[in-house]
């Protein structure tokens, strides 16, 4: 593992821990069984469910994509946070800390800046009312 890879993994670990702690601060409980919060998060519709960047030059930022989060339930849904598992994929934070009313939506953008040539893969994590529950969007790009 090179130094940059180790730094990236450390940054991702800190971001994921921050999201889990943020969810916990709002009364979320870490449970291994399905809870009411799981059922609520299941009603979160994410558009699109995957994003792919092609031929982005190293250290340049590719076009941003818009991601929409739609609450398709009849109850409010808290979005604890949005984070990427790889710092080369950077989401904006307009939806973090937002409570979506029934049928409400929130939009944010995500960009890709490859630090090295080749294929890159990651996941976009959207955490909701429960500390260990999240939904993902597949991310990929070619640098």
- In this prediction, residue 33 carries a pLDDT of 32
Residue 39 in this model has a pLDDT that exceeds 90: no
Average pLDDT on 98-120 reads 94
CB 138 within 8 A of CB 49: yes
DSSP code of residue 56 = P
Report d(CA 18, CA 3) in Å as an integer: 23
Report d(CA 139, CA 111) in Å as an integer: 10
Q: Residue 89's beta-bridge partner residues? A: 112
Residue 132 in this model has a pLDDT that exceeds 70: no
pLDDT band at 134 (very low <50, low <70, confident <90, very high): confident
Report d(CA 46, CA 128) in Å as an integer: 13
Does the global pTM surpass 0.75? no
Q: How many CA atoms, within 13 angstroms, populate the side-chain half-sphere of residue 139?
A: 28
> Which of the pair, 90 or 17, is modelled with greater confidence?
90
Residue 27 in this model has a pLDDT that exceeds 50: no
> Which of the pair, 133 or 34, is modelled with greater confidence?
133
């Amino acid at each position: 593992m090179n130094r940059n890879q180790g730094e990236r993994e450390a940054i991702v670990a800190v971001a994921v821990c921050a999201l889990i702690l943020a969810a916990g601060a709002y009364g979320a409980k870490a449970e291994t069984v399905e809870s009411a919060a799981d059922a609520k998060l299941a009603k979160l519709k994410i558009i699109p469910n995957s994003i792919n960047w092609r031929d982005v030059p190293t250290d340049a930022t590719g076009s941003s994509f818009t991601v929409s989060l739609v609450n398709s339930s009849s109850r409010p849904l808290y979005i604890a946070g949005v984070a990427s598992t790889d710092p080369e994929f950077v989401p904006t934070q307009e939806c973090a800390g937002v409570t979506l009313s029934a049928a409400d939506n929130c939009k944010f953008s995500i960009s890709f800046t490859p630090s090295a040539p080749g294929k890159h893969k990651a996941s976009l994590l959207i955490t909701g009312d429960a500390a260990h529950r999240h939904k993902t969007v597949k991310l990929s790009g070619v640098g």
